[in-house]
């Protein structure tokens, strides 16, 4: 576990990070509902999808799922069961859709900035809060052997299975970089304890998700027939108990971190968990007990910066200076990685 004295940098990766990796193929949030509708292959799911789209009249995935969740709360009997079943299948659909955005060695050869980000930017005890459903970040870290799934998803996720595989090197023995997937992930599995109805989140390890680890120690799927665990982007989120603890741990790490680097994350106003994390990051700025810095790497960095400043500016107006609040208004590439490296080097 990362101690309070050690946390220095927290990286917040949003959909823009995956977009920089997979280009136009990877959708941003405002296009995701349409992409999922076209991707749905099961006729029953597809028909229900179109039925609810017609009923709710929205192209916004958060609004669509929130309407579903509210209707589940209101309905009874058969109608309730029918909507709940579709809602469960929708989560699986999200995981299936994002399975097309997986790690491939050809990507790191084509996009040299990825290797430089991992080997020149990330450092000991850094924390990565990855909001994406894809397994790409974990596979990238594993490929460069700076991270391990044995403890790398935090102390709360995946360790039930990993403990059975003593040979896998521990994350804390490498760089102790933690990868917090607070929205779940394509390779997270919702498993049952033996014949109990109690569930826990396990992980699947294979060559697609952890290329170097699986090459050395073999593949492992804790929940062979278990469904993937992702938290769909509804305004009504009820996370699994393990994810709740992960979110709390992330908030605590934000409080003690010196630097927050936001990459490809628009910080939508309705995403309350993210704003709680930011509020925790600013806590020691409020009390003037710690000097901190935010760096935003995004083509829309100025717009994202304005959101942060508008939200927190009245309390800490003197924080928002060019020295503390840095905006790199560029796509992720070698040039923006160079700028980020210089900023972090000056610490």
pLDDT, tens digit (0-9, with 9 covering 90-100), for 53-66: 999 999 999 999 99
Among candidates 104, 34, 26, 8, which has minimal Cα distance to 332? 26
- 77 confidence band (pLDDT: 50, 70, 90): confident
Residue pLDDT, tens place only, 95-130: 999 999 999 999 999 999 999 999 999 999 999 999
Residue pLDDT, tens place only, 4-29: 547 899 999 999 999 999 999 999 88
Task: Check whether residue 59 and residue 123 sit in a common domain.
Answer: no
Task: Check whether residue 219 and residue 85 sit in a common domain.
Answer: no
Lowest-confidence range among 77-91, 93-107, 127-141, 193-207?
Answer: 193-207
Question: Which phi-psi region, left, alpha or beta, contains residue 267 (left: φ > 0; alpha: ψ -120 to 50)?
Answer: left
- Mean pLDDT, the chain, as a whole number? 91
Report whether 117 contacts 337 (CB < 8 A).
Answer: yes
Task: Check whether residue 160 and residue 220 sit in a common domain.
Answer: yes
Task: Look at residue 158 in the predicted model and tell me its pLDDT.
Answer: 78
Task: Check whether residue 166 and residue 140 sit in a common domain.
Answer: yes
Q: For residue 82, report the phi and psi dihedrals to the nearest 5 degrees.
A: -65, -45
Read off the pLDDT of each residue in 70-81 and give the average, rounded to a whole number. 89
Determine whether 319 is exposed, middle or buried from the number of CB atoms within 10 Å of its CB (0-12, 13-18, 19+): buried
- 160 confidence band (pLDDT: 50, 70, 90): low
Report whether 99 contacts 18 (CB < 8 A).
Answer: no
What is the tally of structural domains in the chain? 2
Q: 0.85 exceeded by the pTM? A: yes
Task: Check whether residue 233 and residue 120 sit in a common domain.
Answer: yes
Task: Look at residue 165 in the predicted model and tell me its pLDDT.
Answer: 59
| Rounded Cα distance, 130 and 201, in Å | 17
How crowded is residue 118: how many other Cβ atoms within 10 Å of its Cβ?
Answer: 20
Task: Check whether residue 42 and residue 129 sit in a common domain.
Answer: no
Residue that terminates a domain, selected from 81, 98, 115: 98
How crowded is residue 294: how many other Cβ atoms within 10 Å of its Cβ?
Answer: 22
Task: Check whether residue 261 and residue 290 sit in a common domain.
Answer: yes
Report whether 117 contacts 155 (CB < 8 A).
Answer: no
Task: Look at residue 196 in the predicted model and tell me its pLDDT.
Answer: 75
| Rounded Cα distance, 134 and 16, in Å | 12
- Which residues form the domain of 44? 29-98
Task: Check whether residue 292 and residue 175 sit in a common domain.
Answer: yes
Residue that terminates a domain, selected from 98, 118, 139: 98
Residue that terminates a domain, selected from 47, 65, 98: 98
């Amino acid at each position: 576990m990362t101690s309070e004295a050690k946390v220095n940098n927290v990286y917040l990766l949003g959909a823009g990070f995956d977009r920089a990796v997979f280009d136009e193929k990877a959708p941003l949030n405002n296009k995701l509902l349409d992409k999922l509708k076209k991707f749905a292959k099961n006729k029953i799911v597809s028909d229900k999808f179109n039925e609810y789209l017609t009923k709710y009249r929205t192209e916004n995935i958060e609004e669509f799922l929130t309407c579903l969740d509210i209707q589940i709360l209101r309905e009874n009997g058969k109608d309730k069961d029918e909507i709940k079943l579709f809602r469960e299948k929708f989560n699986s659909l999200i995981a299936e859709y994002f399975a097309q955005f997986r790690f491939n060695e050809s990507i790191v050869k084509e996009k040299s900035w990825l290797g430089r980000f991992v080997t020149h930017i990330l450092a000991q005890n850094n924390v990565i809060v990855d909001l994406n459903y894809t397994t790409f970040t974990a596979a990238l870290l594993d490929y460069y052997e700076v991270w391990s799934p044995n403890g790398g998803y935090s102390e709360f996720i995946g360790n039930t299975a990993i403990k059975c595989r003593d040979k896998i090197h521990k994350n804390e023995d490498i760089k102790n970089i933690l990868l917090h997937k607070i929205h779940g992930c394509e390779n997270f599995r919702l498993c049952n304890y033996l014949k109990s109805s109690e569930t826990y989140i396990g992980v699947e390890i294979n060559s697609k998700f952890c290329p170097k680890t699986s090459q050395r120690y073999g593949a492992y799927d804790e929940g062979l027939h278990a469904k993937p665990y992702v938290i769909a982007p509804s305004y009504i989120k009820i996370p699994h108990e393990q994810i709740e603890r992960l979110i709390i741990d992330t908030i605590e790490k934000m409080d003690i971190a010196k630097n927050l680097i936001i990459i490809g994350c628009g910080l939508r106003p309705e995403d309350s968990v993210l704003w709680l994390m930011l509020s925790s990051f600013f806590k020691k700025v409020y009390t003037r007990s710690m000097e901190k810095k935010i760096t935003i790497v995004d083509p829309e960095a100025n717009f994202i910066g304005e959101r942060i400043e508008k939200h927190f500016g009245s309390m800490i107006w003197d924080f928002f200076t060019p020295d503390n609040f840095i905006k790199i208004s560029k796509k992720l590439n070698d040039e923006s990685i160079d700028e980020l490296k210089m900023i972090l080097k000056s610490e």
